[in-house]
Amino acid sequence: MALRACNQSQATRNGLKEKVLTLDTMNPCVRRVEYAVRGPIVLRALELEQELRQGVKKPFTEVIRANIGDAQAMGQKPITFLRQVLALCVNPDLLSSPNFPDDAKKRAERILQVCGGHSLGAYSISSGIQLIREDVARYIERRDGGIPADPNNIFLSTGASDAIVTVLRLLVAGEGRTRTGVLIPIPQYPLYSAALAELDAVQVDYYLDEEHVWALDVAELRRAVRQARDHCRPRALCVINPGNPTGQVQTRECIEAVIRFAFEERLFLLADEVYQDNVYAEGSQFHSFKKVLTEMGPPYAGQQELASFHSASKGYMGECGFRGGYVEVVNMDAAVQQQMVKLMSVRLCPPVPGQALLDLVVNPPAPSDPSFAQFQAEKQAVLAELAAKAKLAEQVFNEAPGIRCNPVQGAMYSFPRMQLPPRAVQRAQELGLAPDMFFCLRLLEETGICVVPGSGFGQREGTYHFRMTILPPMEKLRPLLEKLSEFHAKFTSEYS
């Protein structure tokens, strides 16, 4: 203390003070946060793009960002109807233009009618515009074969991430051995690990079964929760279905088993269902946790606490930039739900253009509407191409020696496992890098292909993966997959 005071006064004499906020004094929980999807590899990709623009010679002409599920960045065109209605909402002068279909105008008027001052520029109530929450409820009812959804249990959000973090913020409590533990799948989408690190909650890993198309096994859940009870209080279980980064679609039987497990072990369920429209594999079908839970009847139906998340960023529309999303809570304690409303009110409201967009997604044109045919054609074209790309990724990777890829049943990613030679692993360790990070960095430098190493999502010790989106356009995807496989072969022989 004396030394520190002395240093300080010396520094002051030189006219220089230590910063108030440094790595040593900042929030230690924030320091622990990691987020691979936009980590060092993506920063390097940005630099490479700049170098290319400045004319620096590279062994490639463009960087392909296959690191993030961002369909429109990869060239997917927005759905016409969505953008027509939004433009009308943004600039209502266009309502008198003959260049917009009548149903688009009606939809815009319907949305503006319930906006403050009939404008997207006013705040909405914090849980989101009531009419849109009602539309979301009806969407859920249609999706779930008529099981009722209550608009008061639906909260609009700034993308699904915002809602997920809000629910986690409610759940975190305790200290030391009573700290909240949250079960998350490994591999996981790193929003979960990042949020838990910042909230100083305990991340409890359960491993998906790669040998069985990344199935979720209740015995593994049981192992994880039992072990965790030694050092924390497990209170929540996160499930991502369809899986990110793993692409599996859970069976109904699996979901039932998970619900029974959560009920027995007294765990709040978080179901990340943002890829519910992205199911490609024959025989695979999306079952919502809400629907399965309800159909299981008592004691689960009326009691098991659940939050289900969805967004306008994925699906066939891919409107990531608008940050529209929602959460539906089921069986949440009424007083806690009020606390959630309060918590959301501090940030005022989710972006209103994103709310409007979400409304169109959950309430698309009906068959009798003038925009229906075009809407449906555009939607089906996107989903059909995604299905073809999912199949292609699996096929090309599985033809490559040393790479093995589970079927991409849903979502937007392939997550192949690759063999890395021991000398490459050793070289990576010398460089202080995870072996698959070393591979991905080399891949980026030599081919311009940007993918995220499996270590950013979590994987079994000694296994190596990468996550690659299936979003590049078909004519680019095949050469990309082949280039990647070739690079892996070259890398393997270089270090063998």
Residues 210-269 that bind its own copies (CB under 8 A): 235-236, 263, 266-268
Figure out which of the listed residues 6, 122, 373, 381 binds its own copies, where binding follows CB under 8 A: 122
Options 4, 19, 53, 57; binder of its own copies; rule CB under 8 A? 19
Q: Is 257 exposed, middle or buried (0-12, 13-18, 19+ CB in 10 A)?
A: middle
d(CA 451, CA 145): 38
Q: Are 180 and 236 spatial neighbours (Cβ–Cβ below 8 Å)? A: yes
b/e map 161-195, b = 16+ CB within 10 Å: bbbbbbbbebbbeeeeeebbbbbbbbbbbbbbbbb
Instruction: Give dist(CA 164, CA 283) in Å, integer.
Output: 29
Rule CB under 8 A: say whether 331 interacts with its own copies.
Answer: yes
Binding to its own copies (CB under 8 A): which residues in 138-177?
158-159, 161-162, 165, 169-173
Rounded CA separation 39/433 (Å): 13
Report the C-alpha gap between 409 and 250 in whole angstroms: 9
End-to-end CA distance of the chain: 54
Please select the residue that binds its own copies; options are 120, 216, 292, 477, rule is CB under 8 A: 120
Q: How far is the CB of 424 from its own copies (least distance, A)?
A: 27
Nearest-angstrom CA–CA distance, 100 and 102 = 6
Phi–psi pair at 481, nearest 5 degrees: -65, -40
Q: Does 303 bind its own copies (CB under 8 A)?
A: yes
332 part of the interface to its own copies, by CB under 8 A: yes
Which stretch in 56-64, 296-304, 364-372, 401-409 sits in contact with its own copies by CB under 8 A? 296-304
By CB under 8 A, tell whether 330 contacts its own copies.
Answer: no
Q: Among 7, 10, 25, 285, which residue interacts with its own copies (rule: CB under 8 A)?
A: 25
Which range in 29-37, 241-249, 410-418, 451-459 contacts its own copies by CB under 8 A? 29-37
Applying CB under 8 A, the site for its own copies has a residue count of: 101
Selected from 48, 64, 115, 400, the binder of its own copies by CB under 8 A is: 115
Is residue 112 near its own copies by the rule CB under 8 A? no
Shortest Cβ 442–its own copies spacing (Å): 23
Ordered alpha helix ranges (H), 117-158:
130-143
Beta carbon nearer to its own copies, 56 or 335:
335
Nearest CA among 412, 470, 145 for reference residue 287: 145
> What is the enclosing helix (H) or strand (E) of 206?
strand 202-207
Query: Segment near its own copies (CB under 8 A), from 54-62, 88-96, 394-402, 460-468?
Result: 88-96
Residue 116 contacts its own copies per CB under 8 A: yes
126: contact with its own copies by CB under 8 A: yes
Q: How far apart are CA 149 and CA 131, in angstroms?
A: 14
Q: Is 30 in the site for its own copies (CB under 8 A)?
A: yes
User: With binding defined as CB under 8 A, does residue 119 bind its own copies?
Assistant: yes
Q: Which of 52, 94, 147, 301 binds its own copies (CB under 8 A)?
A: 94
97 touching its own copies, by CB under 8 A: yes
At 115, which amino acid appears? Answer: C
Instruction: Look at the block and give the residue holding tokens 């209605």.
Output: 85
Nearer CB in complex with its own copies: 2/16: 16
- Find the binding residues for its own copies in span 191-210 (CB under 8 A): 191, 194-195, 198
Tell me how far apart the alpha carbons of residues 128 and 115 are, in angstroms, rounded to a whole number. 10
Among 6, 7, 10, 26, binds its own copies (CB under 8 A): 26
**Residue of 278, 289, 217 whose CA lies nearest to 247:** 278
Among the candidate windows 239-247, 297-305, 443-451, 452-460, which touches its own copies by CB under 8 A? 297-305
Comparison of 351 and 402: residue with beta carbon closer to its own copies:
351
Which one of 146-154, 278-286, 316-324, 477-485 is the stretch in contact with its own copies (CB under 8 A)?
A: 316-324
323 is an interface residue for its own copies by CB under 8 A: yes
Q: Which stretch, 33-41, 56-64, 276-284, 479-487, contacts its own copies (CB under 8 A)?
A: 33-41
Query: To the nearest whole angstrom, how small is the minimum distance from the Cβ of residue 283 to its own copies?
Result: 31
Residue 69 burial (CB count, 10 A): 25
* 344-403: contacts with its own copies (CB under 8 A): 345-354
* DSSP codes of every residue in 65-109: ETTS--TGGGTPPPPHHHHHHHHHHH-GGGGG-TTS-HHHHHHHH
Q: How far apart are CA 126 and CA 118, in angstroms?
A: 17
In the set 10, 51, 62, 75, which binds its own copies (CB under 8 A)?
A: 75
